[in-house]
Amino acid sequence: MSLAFPETVPHDRAPDLLRDTLIRSVKATIIEAPTVRQHKLSNTEIAYQGFVLVRVQLENGVVGVGEASTLGGPRWAEESVESIWAAITHYLAPALIGQPAMHFEANAVRMGKAATRNFSAKAAVESALFDGVGHSLGLPASALLGGAVRDRIGVIWALASGDPVQELEEAREKLRLRQHKEFKIKLGFNTPEADIKRLQQLRSGLGDDVKLIVDVNQAWSEAQCIRLFPALDELDVALIEQPVPASQREAMARIAARTRIPLLIDEAAFTKEELASVAAIGCGSVYSLKLVKSGGLLELKRAAGVAQSFGIELYGGCLLESSIGAAAHMAVFSTLPKLEWGSEHFGPRILVDDLVEEPLVFEEFEIRLPQGPGLGIALDEDRVRAMARRK
């Protein structure tokens, strides 16, 4: 891995640099991006992905970009593209305009005072700040987060159409192209019996050497987990994500104690305080890191530290982000000393058209950390205009 860094900024330039990076404007745009196939979860399915694109313009003319992602409206979490746009436009932007963009911690405090939770909105704005400051300094965002320790990360692909014949064809093509060799199967939108039958077909068709992870999306009860987990064990499932509703933390802890398959904590913990709470009672042994849960790049790093302090392994989660949101996650993931389960940032590849000129690179079953200043990506303005929501 080779990362280039510019010369140190002279001390006598520091005051000018602060003025240059004052936040001039913060603007949000709702994007509707078609997907290449249906993507099903236990409570919804989508044929297009909703984003809020954030542009932060600095006093020096640099524009930083960030992205907020949702899944079919306020179903996965309480935010929707409409609420994210409103929170950014009416609350977060006024709190930040005129402030130095490079004062990341202070700006996070300002956003926290301006709006409670609204994690996806805050994460998109903070991503844009890191992108803008990175471009101003000629530094990658990872350098502003402590420096990268890896320049590529293994990437998992999700199978979520519900049709095992189509999913087998899809998975085999990913293997043939050497893009993905680990697969996460979305369960919970069918009966448990149908879920198990579909999983059996996938295991039989892909063979024993392929790693399978399942995401139940909070769809099963504790009793169903007790009954069904032995079948998952027989199918050599490597990891089970959020099998019961997020509010049933004690039930999840009891389930975790009964199975040898590690449980992946997702919706049960958004903030680092929630993570500490679920970790203390043993809800799982792996945690899904997501900007839409932590509310920013800095908080995402802190969440990783909390998880590791409890001996919990790390999984790079996603919410079907484009290359913009994926690059923001990669900036953080690249700086973590450990990322035991890799990431699942396949989002750019499920879109018919990405939002950037050069999408992130997938090769040899890994996703590469984008090179260049900031997040290392550049908007494709024609595609952004084409997919921007009309009034």
Digit-coded pLDDT (tens) for 288-340? 999 999 999 999 999 999 999 999 999 999 999 999 999 999 999 999 999 99
Based on the fold, state whether residues 85 and 212 are members of the same structural domain. no
* C-alpha 311 chain-centroid distance: 22
> Which residue among 167, 241, 344, 366 is the active-site one?
344
pLDDT for position 41 = 64
Based on the fold, state whether residues 197 and 169 are members of the same structural domain. yes
pLDDT for position 75 = 78
pTM listed for this prediction: 0.93
Based on the fold, state whether residues 193 and 166 are members of the same structural domain. yes
pLDDT for position 390 = 86
HSE-up of residue 47 (Cα within 13 Å, Cβ side): 0
In a domain, 388, yes or no: no
Helix (H, G, I), strand (E, B) or coil at 359: coil
Helix (H, G, I), strand (E, B) or coil at 166: helix
Burial label, 299 (beta-carbon count in 10 A; 0-12, 13-18, 19+): buried
Interatomic CA distance for residues 268 and 366, integer angstroms = 28
Based on the fold, state whether residues 180 and 252 are members of the same structural domain. yes
Based on the fold, state whether residues 158 and 282 are members of the same structural domain. yes
C-beta of residue 76 within 8 angstroms of C-beta of residue 85: no
In a domain, 114, yes or no: yes
pLDDT for position 197 = 97
Q: What is the pLDDT along the chain (391 residues), one digit of tens a residue?
A: 544 444 445 555 666 878 889 999 999 999 999 998 777 665 667 677 899 999 999 999 999 999 999 987 787 889 999 999 999 999 999 999 999 999 999 999 999 999 999 999 999 999 999 999 999 999 999 999 999 999 999 999 999 989 999 999 999 999 999 999 999 999 998 999 999 999 999 999 999 999 999 999 999 999 999 999 999 999 999 999 999 999 999 999 999 999 999 999 999 999 999 999 999 999 999 999 999 999 999 999 999 999 999 999 999 999 999 999 999 999 999 999 999 999 999 999 999 999 999 999 999 999 999 999 999 999 999 999 999 998 6
Based on the fold, state whether residues 117 and 154 are members of the same structural domain. no
Tell me the β-bridge partners of 53.
Answer: 29, 67
In a domain, 383, yes or no: no
C-beta of residue 163 within 8 angstroms of C-beta of residue 190: no
Based on the fold, state whether residues 100 and 248 are members of the same structural domain. no
Mean pLDDT of the chain: 93
Domain of residue 98 covers 11-138
DSSP letters along 218-287, please?
T---HHHHHHHHHHHHHTT--EEE--S-TT-HHHHHHHHHH-SSPEEE-TT--SHHHHHHHHHTT--SEE
Does 113 qualify as catalytic in the annotation?
no
Does 27 qualify as catalytic in the annotation?
no
CATH number assigned to the domain comprising residue 153: 3.20.20.120
pLDDT for position 196 = 97
Based on the fold, state whether residues 241 and 369 are members of the same structural domain. yes
Based on the fold, state whether residues 321 and 350 are members of the same structural domain. yes
> Which residue among 122, 181, 186, 290 is the active-site one?
186
CATH number assigned to the domain comprising residue 95: 3.30.390.10
Domain total for the chain?
2
Based on the fold, state whether residues 210 and 106 are members of the same structural domain. no
Based on the fold, state whether residues 103 and 235 are members of the same structural domain. no
Based on the fold, state whether residues 200 and 322 are members of the same structural domain. yes
Interatomic CA distance for residues 293 and 290, integer angstroms = 5
End position of a domain, from candidates 107, 138, 169: 138
In a domain, 251, yes or no: yes
Give 3-state DSSP helix, strand, coil % of the chain, rounded to 5: 40, 20, 40
